[in-house]
Amino acid sequence: MPTLFERILAREIPADFVYEDEHVFAIRDITPVAPVHILVIPKAPISGVAAVPESGDHQHLLNAARRIAEAEGLDAGYRLVINQGEAAGQTVPHLHVHLLGGRPLTWPPG
Ligand code: 5GP
């Protein structure tokens, strides 16, 4: 059964795409928690951080997130978040990085 993000990637479910390359795509979150809230997603349907292989080309996700942050003009700073598991709030079992910015982000998070 394809994940929600695989269905979005296949254009079966509409989304606002902001980036796509061979390895990664990015969409605006449907329920943004910051003025910029983008999900950066590997095309490979890895279920979460816990399932990331020990070796591989994992730099693509961070490189894409940085490029998108620059394109969004987040020069003042931004936050990347990965929720792993239910207790951390993960709701979609397909690895994704939340790119948040456009407002002051407090630390520590709630
Ligand atoms: P998680 O809770 O797994 O860390 O993040 C999943 C994110 O996907 C949530 O922030 C949620 O708002 C977003 N989301 C859920 N369904 C959709 C959808 O259909 N389209 C888009 N663009 N985002 C979605």
CA dist 51 and 29 (Å) reads 23
pLDDT for 27 beyond 90: yes
Q: Which of 56, 74, 58 is nearest to 66 (CA)?
A: 74
Per-residue pLDDT at 66: 98
50 lines ligand 1 (CB under 6 A): no
Nearest CA to ligand 1 atom 8: 29
Per-residue pLDDT at 109: 85
Cβ–Cβ under 8 Å, residues 74 and 36: yes
pLDDT in tens, 91-106: 999 999 999 999 999 9
CA dist 110 and 104 (Å) reads 14
Per-residue pLDDT at 41: 98
For the question of residue 96 being annotated catalytic, the response is: yes
pTM above 0.85, yes or no: yes
Answer CATH for 4-101 from 3.90.25.10, 3.40.50.1100, 3.30.428.10, 3.30.750.24: 3.30.428.10
Per-residue pLDDT at 59: 94
